[in-house]
Structure 1
Amino acid sequence: ALPMTRGALAAWIADPQAIKPGSNMPRVSLDADELNALVAYLEGLK
């Protein structure tokens, strides 16, 4: 299972195949600011 840490979540969003090979989630090209904003948003949903 993927640990629910900020770094793990960011890594999974940036390159899902590296974290979970065979995942249906596509790789998304985000710059560092966009990735940080998305992770912060997702963390706020807890």
Structure 2
Amino acid sequence: NTAGALAGWIVDPERIKPGTQMAPNPLSPDDLQAVITYLQSLR
């Protein structure tokens, strides 16, 4: 996953996959970047 795809899924999952059970996550830009960096480190 690219950083952009991860950001889209985290911030507005309903837009990426309509009907998803995951709620939107209103993160600050810095927090969003930290989550993306963490998720990418798990590869």
TM-score range, shorter chain: over 0.9
Q: TM-score, normalised by structure 1?
A: 0.88
Q: Which of 18, 27, 35 matches 1:38?
A: 35
Distance 1:29 1:38 in 2: 12
- Structure 2 segments unaligned to the other structure (5+ residues): none
Percentage of pairs with the same residue: 49
- Structure 1 segments unaligned to the other structure (5+ residues): none
Q: Deviations over 1:1-36 (max 9, x none)?
A: xxx111001111000001100011111110100000
How many aligned residue pairs are there? Answer: 43
Distance 1:37 1:15 in 2: 17
1:20 is the counterpart of 2:17: yes
| RMSD, aligned α-carbons | 0.5
